[in-house]
Chains A and B, each alone.
Chain A
Amino acid sequence: DSGVTQTPKHLITATGQRVTLRCSPRSGDLSVYWYQQSLDQGLQFLIQYYNGEERAKGNILERFSAQQFPDLHSELNLSSLELGDSALYFCASSPSASEQYFGPGTRLTVT
């Protein structure tokens, strides 16, 4: 158990809908990263937050947005969902640049 929690574990929704994925980092970790893993595209970095501020951005679509709240939990919002958005979404938290701890992931299925 990495200490990072993600909810929900599974999510099934229809095209065009909007969902929110939640991540609670390990106690004391200020950085949160979001990743997408699909069979087609492999593992992709989406975005990083550090203490509430956006730190780095990867291949995150405009339909996706994220934020980190004062209590350091983070949410990833996915809107106007398409079939291709079906994937595993991981978050990871980090106390520093030297290590990252991954949560168990949220499996999103868009039908």
Chain B
Amino acid sequence: DQQVKQNSPSLSVQEGRISILNCDYTNSMFDYFLWYKKYPAEGPTFLISISSIKDKNEDGRFTVFLNKSAKHLSLHIVPSQPGDSAVYFCAASATGNQFYFGTGTSLTVIP
């Protein structure tokens, strides 16, 4: 029973363009959402978070949007850079501790 879903296993984007990664969730109790970036043979690295009291959070090139009514969040990366190529996971929690992760989207930024 996957409570957090990332339906696009992969995404390719040209350098300099916008990357949009999507995530859907089913549990309406989730109130805290994170995006992680993962390189091969490394653990996930925290990227950006958003709580359910907001609908947008921005940090440099990274912006996360939350649509609670649609139970959907997205991560925008602009401009995309080759170093952004990695697997991106979204995660959600109702407690701030037990997080449910999606299956990840592999982003490739083409120079």
Chain A complexes with chain B: no
Interface residues of B (CB under 8 A from A): none
